[in-house]
Structure 1
Amino acid sequence: MNETDWRFKIAHREALIGVGLALFNFVWWFGFAYGMGSAPVEEYTYVFGLPAWFFYSCVVGFLVIAVLVIIIVKFFFVEVPFEEEEEEKR
């Protein structure tokens, strides 16, 4: 009997979702940090006293990722028991 445990499918799906969130976080951070931050310092705009590139990449990025993680965990992740199921004896 070479069956794959059903919990592995769930674990793989949730791992891929986690990798997707990490990639999204990196792209968000990189896009704002290097996209807006590559201008000369004299041309920076500021939000709440922080350079706009830093504010959008680090502050807003953190808030966006935190909300996404909460939503993903609440609605897409499922609780999986860690105990091994006893096989029925015939």
Structure 2
Amino acid sequence: MKKKNTSESDPRYKVANREALFGVGLAIFNFIWWFAFAYGLGGEDPSDYTYVFGLPAWFFYSCVLGFIVMAVLVTIVVKKWFVEVSFEEEGEET
């Protein structure tokens, strides 16, 4: 019977865990960014809102700029720290 790989014997688990932590970190950063701008600037009376490109500033900074920042951060993280991992089992014939 073939022995199954465990997290101790297969280095792919280490890579997957590290990349998952990057993903969770980015998701937490995204939520903090969105929450800070949406509720920080959006907690005013609507008549006192400032506008950026015709959108309320809280919406522009939390949703529009936040999306752009996250897209850039995800691209950087994937290109710099993510690695390609083979899904084939070691010793498996194709």
Query: What is the rounded CA distance, in whole Å, between the counterparts of 1:11 and 1:4 in structure 2?
Result: 14
Task: Give the partner amino acid of 1:47.
Answer: V
In the alignment, structure 1 residue 36 sits paired with structure 2 residue 41: yes
Which of the residues 17, 21, 24 maps onto 2:29?
A: 24
In the alignment, structure 1 residue 82 sits paired with structure 2 residue 87: yes
Shift of 1:4: 3.0
Shift of 1:25: 0.3
TM-score, normalising length: structure 1:
0.92
Shift of 1:86: 1.2
Which residue is 2:13 aligned to?
8
TM-score, normalising length: structure 2:
0.88
Shift of 1:24: 0.3
Identity %: 69
Give the RMSD, CA atoms, in angstroms: 1.5
Secondary structure of 1:18 counterpart: helix
Query: What is the rounded CA distance, in whole Å, between the counterparts of 2:76 and 2:9 in structure 1?
Result: 29
Query: What is the rounded CA distance, in whole Å, between the counterparts of 1:81 and 1:71 in structure 2?
Result: 22
Query: What is the rounded CA distance, in whole Å, between the counterparts of 1:4 and 1:74 in structure 2?
Result: 26
Gapped runs of 5+ residues in structure 2?
A: none
Task: Give the partner amino acid of 2:47.
Answer: E
> Would you identify which runs of 4 or more consecutive aligned residues in structure 1 move more than 6 Å?
none
* Structure 1 residues 15-55: Cα deviation after superposition (integer angstroms, max 9, x where no partner): 00000000000000000000000000111000000000000
Gapped runs of 5+ residues in structure 1?
A: none
